[in-house]
Structure 1
Amino acid sequence: MSPVRGGVFADVVETQRIPTLVRLAPNLYALTYRLMKMVPARHILRRAAASGRLDRGTTVVETTSGTFGLALAMQCAIDGRDLVLVGDPVIDARLHRQLADLGAMVEIVHHRAAVGGYQATRLARLAEIQAELPNTFCPEQYANPDNPASYAMVAELLTDRLGQIDCLVGPVGSGGSMCGTTRYLRQSNPDLVSVGIDAHRSVLFGQPDGPRVLRGLGNSLRPGNLDHTQFDEVHWVTEADVFHATRRLHQAHALFMGPTSGASYLVGSWWAGAHPDALTVIVLPDEGYRYHDTVYDDAWLAGYGRETPPAPRTVRGPGEADRSWCRLAWRRRSLAEVTAGSHLIEASG
């Protein structure tokens, strides 16, 4: 790869990594990424190379079925590194082609484990691949502390552009972006309210695992980077609410984003409306080009044709959050504290 070609692609990656701030309402801003996962992917690989854990003969391996894999593929293509990704059937044909075109080897697992779902199966296969190859490095986005640490840059950008922020709203998957950005923002504003968004049938905030339509938020395993004590409030959202909110975001603000961004817009616009004196920022993780044939197709969306409720239903614990848009005052507690409190409520109720 020539220096000129590498330099051009490095600039392209930088445009994916640095978010743009867009004002949606007097007290509501969107932190808009082209590809948010480029933030931790670039940071993790650079830190590993600097520390000697990642040399030229090392193969990068990771489990992912989403945009973290795409970010790794882009960075590895630029750096000239071999990459093996273990995913599951949720990787659509367009993403699979893009990953392959960037030089990544993609292996798909088809068995869903009874505990941990596809994620557990992917991790098991990843361990086998690492045992087969002589020299590997796994970014481990779910447990690597360099993931949340990478968002210090984002917190600095927000503070420089907006000053004090009162509320940050965003989806939770690996825990890196929301926990990392919240942690660094609270260094200057300890009163910042952090609102996390999860999917129903995700284990992240205390619900039992189950099949999920939404991708990019929720998980079948609890990642090490998820610090529950960072969150003041948690919302569980349905796919119908999220898909329709994604379209409203596009129609009202010309922001062509994916469903995780729609989830942020749904919850964040409600929160900003309920707190007109607070400056709210919502996280929009990636663009909508993977969803031309789904969310942005009217016939497909008609299958989710119900009105979105104007506000969430407040619940007292994860077990009360049914298949509707629900909100729980988390109050920076651990998961054990929240679930213990829920059991006390159930016993007394």
Structure 2
Amino acid sequence: MTKTPALFHEVTEATLRPKIVRLGPNLYGAVFTLMKLVPARYILRRALDRGELEPGTVIVETTSGTFGLALAMEAALLERELVLVSDPIIDARLRRRLSGLGATVDIVEHPAPVGGYQASRLARLAELRAGMTRTFCPEQYSNPDNPASYALVAQWLHDTIGQIDCVVGPVGSGGSLCGTVRALRSHTPHTWAVGVDTHRSVLFGQQDGPRLLRGLGNSLLPANLDHRVLDEVHWCSAPEAFAMTRWAYRRHALFQGPTSGAALLAAKWWAETNPDASCVVMLPDEGYRYLDTVYDDGWVTEQGIDITAPVPDKPAEVTHPSHAADGWSRYPWQRRSLAAVLAEARP
């Protein structure tokens, strides 16, 4: 009898697909260990196939979050040097993990007058590349391989759940939500897309400003965010996201980060409001980075947040993105461009 050979995978390949968890009668969580592995692996492997990652090529990117960790894991497997440009807000635990994987972390100390730290990081990135012989930049905010990589996730969701009527996800680069929904709509064109942002992010027409809730939102408008994919947009505050993050751990033993809490807030409401429709919520990464912050009562109190305060049971409906003030708010985007929304929906 011939024995079937075993299948072995690299660690990044083995953790690309999310676990699918039932969170309610019609609500499913797509639970990722590290969602950013999906675009990081796809982008770098595509670059390798095109001959853009020859030995001696330095991978360079700007990031303050989990995309950097995903790149560091993949760069270690590919035996390529990695330089990441970040800012002082980077989590200390994350920085140690990056260094342990062999990545160089270059910190910019001051935000740019326009675009904040993201703009100053981009300027530093260009400066570093100018001094290197051979580099490759994944450019997660503009590389079309970012959203394209999520076709794998969409197919996994479709194969596991079947018809998916709604996908809810946090928005940063725009890659995960836009890429997943575009691919799902090849099966179900009606699939509803709900983007979750935080206040004082420019992604959906608000003015840039300080944000305690990290991992979603942006100070610059990324090319990979296709606003015409979105049916509705929710803005979530840090206290609401933190409370839902801890609720998910206590109620479902889901140990995820605050972007997952923000997405879950909107998804739980949407699923309850549409009981005959199936809803999937994207839960991007595990909670280990947040043990000293979101999961720490002392830190949360220092931020002036009462973690025991009740979370609203529904969002405030707003008629313009600028009306989404500080609490959980919802706006019917209707698959329009940003320019169309801002031109037609006057305050």
Alignment TM-score, normalising by the size of structure 1: 0.95
1:133 paired residue number: 132
Identity of paired residues, percent? 60
Q: 1:341: Cα distance to partner?
A: 1.5
Query: Within 5 Å, which residues of 2 pair with 1:78-97?
Result: 78-97=77-96
In the alignment, is the contact (CA less than 8 A) between 1:233 and 1:330 conserved in 2?
yes
Distance 1:324 1:24 in 2: 24
2:331 paired residue number: 328
Q: 1:13: Cα distance to partner?
A: 1.8
Distance 2:215 2:325 in 1: 20
Is 1:166 matched with 2:169?
no
Q: 1:301: Cα distance to partner?
A: 3.0
Query: Within 5 Å, which residues of 2 pair with 1:311-326?
Result: 311-326=314-329
SS of 2:225's partner is: coil
SS of 1:304's partner is: coil
Moved over 6 A (4+): none
Gaps of 5+ in 1: 1-6
Distance 1:105 1:17 in 2: 24
Is 1:180 matched with 2:183?
no
2:69 paired residue number: 70
2:233 paired residue number: 234
Distance 1:319 1:338 in 2: 11
1:263 paired residue number: 262
Q: More displaced, 54-63 or 304-313?
A: 304-313
Distance 1:200 1:113 in 2: 20
Distance 1:307 1:132 in 2: 52
In the alignment, is the contact (CA less than 8 A) between 1:35 and 1:287 conserved in 2?
yes
1:337 paired residue number: 340
Distance 1:301 1:17 in 2: 32
Is 1:37 matched with 2:27?
no
Q: 1:145: Cα distance to partner?
A: 0.1
Q: 1:295: Cα distance to partner?
A: 1.1
Query: Within 5 Å, which residues of 2 pair with 1:193-272?
Result: 193-272=192-271
For residues 21-63 of structure 1, give each alpha carbon's deviation from its aligned partner in whole angstroms, at most 9, with x where no partner exists.
0001110000000000000000000000101111111000000
In the alignment, is the contact (CA less than 8 A) between 1:319 and 1:342 conserved in 2?
no
Query: Within 5 Å, which residues of 2 pair with 1:78-157?
Result: 78-157=77-156
Q: 1:299: Cα distance to partner?
A: 2.7
Q: 1:136: Cα distance to partner?
A: 0.2
Q: 1:114: Cα distance to partner?
A: 1.2
Distance 2:25 2:192 in 1: 18
Q: 1:15: Cα distance to partner?
A: 3.5
For residues 289-338 of structure 1, give each alpha carbon's deviation from its aligned partner in whole angstroms, at most 9, with x where no partner exists.
01111111123334311321111000011111111100000000000110
Q: 1:11: Cα distance to partner?
A: 3.0
Amino acid at match of 1:49: L
Gaps of 5+ in 2: 1-6
2:11 paired residue number: 12
In the alignment, is the contact (CA less than 8 A) between 2:17 and 2:156 conserved in 1?
no
In the alignment, is the contact (CA less than 8 A) between 2:85 and 2:107 conserved in 1?
yes
Amino acid at match of 1:120: A
Distance 1:299 1:66 in 2: 23
1:304 paired residue number: 305
Distance 1:199 1:131 in 2: 34
Q: 1:215: Cα distance to partner?
A: 1.1
Alignment TM-score, normalising by the size of structure 2: 0.95
Q: 1:130: Cα distance to partner?
A: 0.5
What is the count of residue pairs matched by the alignment? 337
Amino acid at match of 1:269: K
SS of 2:23's partner is: strand
Distance 1:241 1:78 in 2: 38
Q: 1:252: Cα distance to partner?
A: 0.6
In the alignment, is the contact (CA less than 8 A) between 1:82 and 1:104 conserved in 2?
yes
Amino acid at match of 1:324: G
Distance 1:268 1:237 in 2: 12
Distance 1:146 1:274 in 2: 34
1:4 paired residue number: none
SS of 1:198's partner is: strand
For residues 263-309 of structure 1, give each alpha carbon's deviation from its aligned partner in whole angstroms, at most 9, with x where no partner exists.
11111001101111110000000000011111111233343113211
Higher percent of residues as helix:
1
Q: 1:226: Cα distance to partner?
A: 0.4
2:3 paired residue number: none
